[in-house]
Amino acid sequence: MQFPEKISKMVEHFSRWPGVGEKTAIRYVLSLLRWNHDDLHALSSAIAELTLLKRCQECGLISEETTCDICKNHERFLHKTICVVEGVADCFAIERSGEFKGAYHILGGVLSPLQQIGPNELTIDKLLLRIERRDIREVILALNPSVEGDITCSYLRDVIPLKVRVERIGMGIPMGGNLEHLDVLTIHKALENRRSL
Q: Which is nearer to Zn ion, 91 or 173 (CB)?
A: 91
Total residues contacting Zn ion by CB under 5 A comes to 6
DSSP characters over 176-197: T--GGGS-HHHHHHHHHS-EE-
Residue 146, CA distances (Å) to 52, 59, 109, 177 in order: 34, 23, 12, 8
Regarding 85 and contact with Zn ion (CB under 5 A), the answer is no
Please check whether residue 141 is in contact with residue 168, taking contact to mean a CB–CB distance below 8 angstroms.
yes
Contact with Zn ion (CB under 5 A): which of 25, 56, 83, 124?
56
Regarding 58 and contact with Zn ion (CB under 5 A), the answer is yes
Contact with Zn ion (CB under 5 A): which of 25, 29, 71, 84?
71
Regarding 59 and contact with Zn ion (CB under 5 A), the answer is yes
Q: Which is nearer to Zn ion, 105 or 189 (CB)?
A: 105
Binding part of the chain for Zn ion, among 13-21, 22-30, 57-65, 167-175 by CB under 5 A, reads 57-65
SS3 81: strand
Q: Rounded distance, CA 102 to CA 83, Å?
A: 7
SS3 156: helix
Q: Which is nearer to Zn ion, 103 or 164 (CB)?
A: 103
Chain Cα centroid distance, residue 69: 16
Regarding 61 and contact with Zn ion (CB under 5 A), the answer is yes
In the complex, which residues of this chain contact Zn ion (CB under 5 A)?
A: 56, 58-59, 61, 68, 71
